[in-house]
Amino acid sequence: MALIKPHGSDKLNPLFVYDTAENEALQKEAESLASIVVSSATAANAVMLGGGYFNPLTGYMNKADALYVATDMKTTSGLFWPTPVLNLVKAAGAIKAGDRIALKDPNVEGHPVLAVMDVKAVEEFSDAEMALMSEKVYRPKPPEVHPGVEAFNAQGKVCLSGPIKVLNFSYFQNEFPDTFRTAVEIRNEITERGWKKVVAFQTRNPMHLAHEELCHMAMKRLGCDGLVIHMLLGKLKKGDIPAPVRDAAIRKMVELYFPKNSAMITGYGFDMLYAGPREGVLHAIFRQNMGATHFIVGRDHAGVGDHYGAFDAQKIFDDEVPAGALKIEIFKADHTAYSKKLDRVVMMCEAPDHKKEDFVLLSGTKVREMLGKGIAPPKEFSRPEVAEILIRYYQSLEK
């Protein structure tokens, strides 16, 4: 049985230049090209284009495609797509349509060339168009500040569009050699493991017992051969746990509590958008492109603050994603928690006879307080071996 097809094409088309001679020739050519140091979001888009996660896109969107995607979730050519993929700058300087330019990495010392771009258009969004995209994609709740909208608008309003060739994967390959994987590599590994039905789990946090059990639950109910834990390795908001700590905690959990050859621990190089429902759909496209047949969408998926309803990221698949637009199937999950009555983790919606006090529920603030004091959360909330790694991290912050 062949793997699930990628989004929008029969085969995956990563934009990374794998041919060594061509890559070196482009690196050499880039030295003589006009160059710009791009935003972190633009760099992350290049990494995702390079790895095949943004298949079938060939580069950065132009103004018309970005506005269409924001309002209608499709490009002008009719390709289903949930979020604009842009190269935004504050000013283009002398760069004009027809130029070939080097895109430099803002996140690596010395700003090495990340990609070479053929500029098809240089356009500017009006304030009203920036506001429209912010409203449609991020769905913020004023007057609250939305970190995704802030980051989006901070890049500038000038849009450089056109195809790119990606020359490296920024800091992700060096800093996370055991975890960072392209969609190409994950597809290959799924094939090597002989998995047919694969469920993916997205995380930007360490996994507590409820997350772990949710993965076991999804695998069992869907009859999956394997699980891909796919963690975000890019920029987060202040206060989120750094990727190396999450990575160590998740590896320990899988090593001790998952059967051999049942779970892959991987990560991808993207900055969190915090775009709730729209980002949930984007996450589904990533997972289809990397070969997963199913994707877990939980409570407040990709959310931030109180900007979204608890299940908005599930509803969008029913209400706004056209039938057949995606091949991947969504596993909708409720909040999972340990039931004192049943002595196991359950989905809260599947325990209608329970009251709030029948569950072991701890707020993120409370957990962080406990870990900072060197106290492990109860075993019904977190595996002790995972808690130990997090305690070491939180105590290091106090020093």
CA–CA gap between residue 175 and residue 39 (Å, rounded)? 19
Domain boundary among 173, 191, 224: 173
Residue 342 lies in a domain: yes
The number of angstroms, rounded, from the C-alpha of 333 to the middle of its chain's C-alpha atoms is: 18
Residue 83 lies in a domain: yes
Residue 10 lies in a domain: no
Q: How many domains does the chain have?
A: 2
Domain boundary among 126, 142, 173: 173
- pLDDT of 192 higher than 70: yes
Tokens representing 28 are 């050499």
- pLDDT of 230 higher than 90: yes
Identity of residue 208: H
| Over residues 197-222, mean pLDDT | 95
Q: Quick one: pLDDT at residue 125?
A: 98
Q: Quick one: pLDDT at residue 319?
A: 97
Residue 12 lies in a domain: no
> Do the strands 100-104 and 158-166 form a parallel or antiparallel pair, or are they unpaired?
unpaired
- pLDDT of 313 higher than 90: yes
- pLDDT of 362 higher than 90: no
Residue 3 lies in a domain: no
Judge whether 91 and 224 are in contact, CB under 8 Å: no
Confidence band of 241 (pLDDT split at 50, 70, 90): confident
- pLDDT of 78 higher than 70: yes
Residues 159 and 283 in one domain: no
Residues 80 and 27 in one domain: yes
What's the domain range around 86? 20-173
Residues 129 and 199 in one domain: no
The CATH number linked to 101 is: 3.10.400.10
Q: Quick one: pLDDT at residue 380?
A: 94
CA–CA gap between residue 360 and residue 247 (Å, rounded)? 25
The helix or strand, by DSSP H or E, that contains position 62, with its residue range, turns out to be none
Residues 145 and 263 in one domain: no
- pLDDT of 204 higher than 90: no
- Residue 121, classified by CB atoms within 10 Å of its CB into exposed (0-12), middle (13-18) or buried (19+), is middle
- pLDDT of 398 higher than 90: no
Residue 14 lies in a domain: no
* pLDDT tens by residue, 82-103: 999 999 999 999 999 999 999 9
* pLDDT tens by residue, 320-361: 999 999 999 999 999 999 999 999 999 999 999 999 999 999
Residues 168 and 240 in one domain: no
What's the mean per-residue pLDDT of the chain? Answer: 95
Residues 163 and 253 in one domain: no
Residues 233 and 329 in one domain: yes
Which member of 204, 251, 299, 383 is catalytic?
204
Residue 306 lies in a domain: yes
* pLDDT tens by residue, 98-150: 999 999 999 999 999 999 999 999 999 999 999 999 999 999 998 889 999 99
| Over residues 245-249, mean pLDDT | 93
Residues whose CB falls within 8 Å of the CB of residue 356, separated by 6 or more in sequence, listed in order: none
For a pLDDT cut of 70, what percent of the chain falls above it? 99
Number of Cβ atoms within 10 Å of the Cβ of 222: 16
Q: Quick one: pLDDT at residue 277?
A: 97
Lowest mean per-residue pLDDT among 67-71, 103-107, 195-199, 232-236: 232-236
Identity of residue 73: M
Residues 202 and 150 in one domain: no
Cross-strand pairs, 75: none
Domain boundary among 120, 153, 173: 173
Residues 117 and 205 in one domain: no
* pLDDT tens by residue, 43-75: 999 999 999 999 999 999 999 999 999 999 999
Tokens representing 146 are 């939305």
Residue 6 lies in a domain: no
The helix or strand, by DSSP H or E, that contains position 201, with its residue range, turns out to be strand 198-203
Q: Quick one: pLDDT at residue 363?
A: 82
Cross-strand pairs, 297: 332
Residues 268 and 303 in one domain: yes
153 carries an active-site annotation: no
- pLDDT of 1 higher than 80: no
Taking the CA atoms of 173, 398, 385 and 335 in sequence, report the sign of the dihedral they define.
Answer: negative
- pLDDT of 302 higher than 80: yes
- pLDDT of 214 higher than 80: yes
* pLDDT tens by residue, 255-289: 999 999 999 999 999 998 999 999 999 999 999 99
User: In this structure, what DSSP letter does residue 178 have?
Assistant: T
205 carries an active-site annotation: yes
Tokens representing 55 are 């298949």
CA–CA gap between residue 221 and residue 205 (Å, rounded)? 24
Residue 344, helix vs strand vs coil: strand
Residues 355 and 209 in one domain: yes
The CATH number linked to 282 is: 3.40.50.620
Which member of 153, 188, 205, 368 is catalytic?
205
- pLDDT of 399 higher than 80: no
CA–CA gap between residue 173 and residue 190 (Å, rounded)? 20
CA–CA gap between residue 113 and residue 170 (Å, rounded)? 9
Residues 164 and 181 in one domain: no
